[in-house]
């Protein structure tokens, strides 16, 4: 029983999340030969202020991009 855990920045539509889960499930089925009904997908959404890279949060990077436009 594969369990796939994905952490993403919040803000996607329910339809986009559903498609993401579908594609992750399909990938496990294709790569591992696992029956689709045994594939579990856990999506954790985090706030842009709670995720960072390069010493800056995603929120800070987004604000800098917006200020530059």
Between the alpha carbon of residue 33 and those of residues 12, 62, 68, the distances in Å are 29, 39, 47
Closest Cα to residue 58, out of 48, 66, 68?
48
Judge whether 48 counts as a catalytic residue: no
Alpha helices in 1-69 (DSSP H): 14-32, 58-68
Give me the active site residues, please: 2
């Amino acid at each position: 029983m594969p369990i796939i855990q994905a952490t993403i920045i919040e803000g996607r539509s329910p339809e986009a999340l559903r498609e993401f889960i579908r594609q992750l499930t399909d990938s496990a089925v294709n790569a591992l030969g696992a029956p689709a009904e045994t594939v579990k997908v856990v999506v954790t959404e985090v706030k842009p202020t709670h995720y960072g890279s390069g010493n800056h949060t995603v929120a800070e990077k987004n604000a800098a991009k917006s200020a530059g436009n």
